[in-house]
Amino acid sequence: MAYNKPIPVPQGESDVYWQKAKEHELWLRKCNACDNAYFYPRDISPCCFSKDTDWIRASGKASLFTYGIVQRAPHPGFVDDVPFVTAIVELEEGPKMATNIVIDNPTFDNLQIGMDLEVVFEDITDELALPKFKPV
């Protein structure tokens, strides 16, 4: 069945991010001036506005920062997915990112703030894969 949810549109500054995601690798931007990794990807660092930035491969390890369990589909494409978990995770490298937690039985008993997570990728089209996280 075709993917029927909203699809991200890669922009110039995020092309590498999406290319690497398709290879099931999570990449971040890192500021060479102050040594901070950051997300979302952009050419100018949000910490000190330096343009001296690079791409780094993230470990894929994260912890659960906060989450919600979605009970009612926000879009027709999600009808078969509820209940599902939207979350902010804190990556091992420091940045936080919005994502989903992949878990069979999403209840408050099965999700703990601070729990260890690792990245997994969902291939949604021939060109795109979405990084999501699952409990370790």
Contact set with Zn ion (CB under 5 A): 31, 33-34, 45, 47-48, 50
The nearest distance, CB 50 to Zn ion, in angstroms, is 5
Tell me which amino acid residue 44 is: I
Distance CA(62)–CA(41), nearest Å, equals: 17
The nearest distance, CB 41 to Zn ion, in angstroms, is 14
Residue 95 has phi, psi (to 5 degrees) of: -65, 155
Q: Judged by CB, which is closer to Zn ion: 91, or 129?
A: 91
The nearest distance, CB 127 to Zn ion, in angstroms, is 31
Are the beta carbons of 21 and 121 closer than 8 angstroms?
yes
DSSP class of 33? T
DSSP line for 32-79: TTT--EESS--SS-TTT--S-EEEEE--SEEEEEEEEEE-S-SSGGGT
Q: Judged by CB, which is closer to Zn ion: 45, or 99?
A: 45
Q: Judged by CB, which is closer to Zn ion: 34, or 56?
A: 34
Tell me which amino acid residue 70 is: V
The nearest distance, CB 40 to Zn ion, in angstroms, is 15
Q: Judged by CB, which is closer to Zn ion: 34, or 113?
A: 34
